[in-house]
Amino acid sequence: MAGRKFFVGGNWKMNGTIESGKKLVETIKSAKLDSNTEVVIAPPAIHLLLVKDALSGVEHVQVSGQNAYHKASGAFTGEVSVTQLQDAGIPWVILGHSERRTVFKETDDQTAEKTKAALDAGLSVIVCVGETLDEREKNESVNVVVRQLNAVADQVKDWTKVVVAYEPVWAIGTGKVATAEQAQEVHAAIRKWASDKLGQSAAESLRIIYGGSVAAKNCKELATQNDIDGFLVGGASLKPEFTEIVNARL
């Protein structure tokens, strides 16, 4: 709210084929999307250019990498660099997704290093933070996201090209969505952190989006919350209902 453009990201993760990707793009192209929503689609790396080309000319819809390596080039087999994303005309990258943190053991510091490198390369970044179920049950949710954000803030001073995705790990891919109150509480704490750390004006313009089992049936209520500026959508971004989530504010 408060003048922040609503933002909906679709994280396809390691799903789909060339054919299914093309179909999803067709669904997005043929839908009537809210022009007040910024949409960013993150297909698997191998489909990025295909999806980018298929979406060319579609207003308000851009593409994103799901991850990137901070070095520009070199002997890093299997990695794609922030510089290569930039060179390929991919304007966004998701960093610090909980699957990167848990499955691939990426640390707060690595996420911060990647965020700095991506911004330096001219990309915009969706940086993901969020607590595990165990941490929530210990009342640690805010401490965890603040720790994760502080690591980034130690390396990044200008947050104008950063979107923060609050994604409680217990809600990702589980069908267990945070209630609007639970999500709003952490989003407000993130905005308070931003105000203390980055200043009031940066905090007011920072978009903080929610991720974790967002679907057509729960997006509207979440979208009414003061500090929820959009969504990062996993499973439902692979379905036609993604367009309803883009239109959550209509």
Residues that bind ligand PEP (CB under 6 A): 11, 13, 167, 172-173, 211-214, 232-236
Angstrom distance (rounded) from CA 80 to CA 64? 13
Count of CB atoms situated within 10 Å of the CB of 121: 18
- Residue at shortest CB range from ligand PEP: 234
Catalytic residue among 38, 99, 167, 241: 167
Closest CB to ligand PEP among residues 167, 241: 167
Q: How far is the CB of 42 from ligand PEP (least distance, A)?
A: 9
116-120: long-range contacts at Cβ-Cβ below 8 A with a sequence spacing of 24 or more?
116/70, 116/155, 116/156, 117/68, 117/70, 117/71, 117/82, 118/68, 118/70, 118/82, 118/85, 118/93, 119/156, 119/158, 119/161, 119/162, 120/82
Q: Where are the alpha helices (DSSP H) in 56-105?
A: 82-87, 98-102
Q: Shortest approach of ligand PEP to residue 92 CB, angstroms?
A: 14
Inter-residue contact 166 to 10 (CB < 8 Å): no
Considering beta carbons, is residue 72 or 180 the nearer one to ligand PEP? 180
Question: Cβ of residue 115: shortest distance to ligand PEP, in angstroms?
Answer: 17
User: Which residue among the candidates 70, 97, 187, 241 is catalytic per the annotation?
Assistant: 97
CA distance 145 to 172: 16
Q: In the complex, what is the shortest distance from the CB of residue 4 to ligand PEP, in angstroms, rounded to a whole number?
A: 20
Cβ proximity to ligand PEP: between 54 and 236 the closer is: 236
Q: How far is CA 37 from CA 33, 34, 108, 206, 229, in A?
A: 8, 6, 29, 15, 10
- 187 included as an active-site residue: no
The residue (of 66 and 86) whose beta carbon lies closer to ligand PEP is 66
- Catalytic, 181? Answer no
Instruction: Give the contacts of 156 (CB within 8 A, at least 6 positions apart).
Output: 112, 115, 116, 119, 162
Residue 100 CA to residue 106 CA, distance in Å, equals: 6
Q: Supply the minimum distance, in Å, between the C-beta of residue 125 and ligand PEP.
A: 14
Q: Considering beta carbons, is residue 127 or 233 the nearer one to ligand PEP?
A: 233
Known catalytic residues are 97, 167
